[in-house]
Copies of this chain bind each other. A is one copy, B any other.
C-alpha cells in the first residue's frame, strides 16, 4: 500500500470519529485537520472536499468489509460453510471497536449525494447480491420450496448483524464467539426450518 493511501486511511479513521461525535454537518474541515494534526491546506492536499472525505470514509468501510469478510471466504466452495463464515466475519467486523465509527457512518449515507452516493451503493449492492446468491445456493442444496425468498433472508441477516452496534458491547457478559454461534444457528433454523441440533456439553453456554 502506498504512503498516500496509508495517510488517507489514517485521515478516514480520525475523520470518522469526528463525524461520529459532531455529526457530518456539525464538523468542519478545520475540526478534522486539527484532529489529524494537519493544516487545513495539508488536509485538502489529501482530500479535495468534505463530500469527498465522507465518500472516502465509506469507501474505506467497504474496503474493510472486502478485506476482512469477502476475501477470507473466497476459497470456500461449500455454500453453507461459506455463508456461515461470512456471517461470523461480518459479526466480527461490526463488533470490532477500532473501526466502529466507520461501519456506523457507512449506513448513514443520507449526507452523500449524486455520483459518490451511487458508487457506494453499487459496492453495497454487490455484497447484498453475493449474500443473496449464497443463500439461494444453500436453499437449493436443501431441496424443496424455499421457506423465505433469498432477498428477504439477506436483509434479515443484515438487520441482525448491523444492528449489533446499537446494543452489543464486547466487554459485556456475552462472548463474541457465543454470539456468532447463536446467531448463525438461529439464522439457519429460520432459513431452512431445521430441527434444533442436540447441544454438546463442550459447547460454551450463552449467558443472557
Contact = CB atoms under 8 A, between A and B. Distances in A.
Given A189-B190, A194-B193, A155 B182 contact: no
A23 interface: yes
A116 interface: no
A107 interface: yes
Contact of A186 (B107, B110, B111, B148): B148
A167 B157 CA distance: 13
A2 interface: no
Contacts of A187: 190
A168 B186 CA distance: 22
Main secondary structure of the interface of A (DSSP, over half): helix
29 contacts: A22-B25, A23-B24, A23-B25, A23-B111, A149-B182, A149-B206, A150-B208, A151-B208, A152-B174, A152-B182, A152-B186, A152-B208, A153-B186, A155-B160, A155-B164, A155-B167, A156-B160, A159-B160, A159-B161, A159-B163, A160-B160, A162-B163, A186-B190, A187-B190, A189-B189, A189-B193, A193-B195, A193-B196, A195-B195
Interface of A: 20-27, 107-108, 110-111, 145, 147-153, 155-156, 158-164, 166-168, 174, 179, 182-183, 185-187, 189-191, 193-196, 199, 206-208
